[in-house]
Amino acid sequence: MNIVILDDDLEVIKYVNNVIPSNNQIYLHTSPLDLQHTSYFKKIDILFIDIKLKEINGIDFIKQNQNILSKTKIIYITAFNDYIENVFETD
């Protein structure tokens, strides 16, 4: 499986990375724009994504790339309760 962890906080990336079984291909990113330019962007099985990224809101990033990520399982990461209802708008 191709798994991507996208968060601008390296401590969160490390934490999430440690709970994913190591038999997967895991890619770590702090920038959504950098992720878009990778060879595996269109082949992500699971994407852990922070909602409050520096460059773009994670929910907006998913909405903008919905056609590419249509088969990708999205797992949102956030410390803010304000975004809970918004993630359901990306289905």
Whether pLDDT at 64 is above 90 = yes
Q: What is d(CA 46, CA 49) in angstroms, rounded to the nearest whole number?
A: 10
Q: Residues of the chain with pLDDT > 90: what percent?
A: 79
**Whole-prediction pTM value?**
0.86
Whether pLDDT at 18 is above 80 = yes
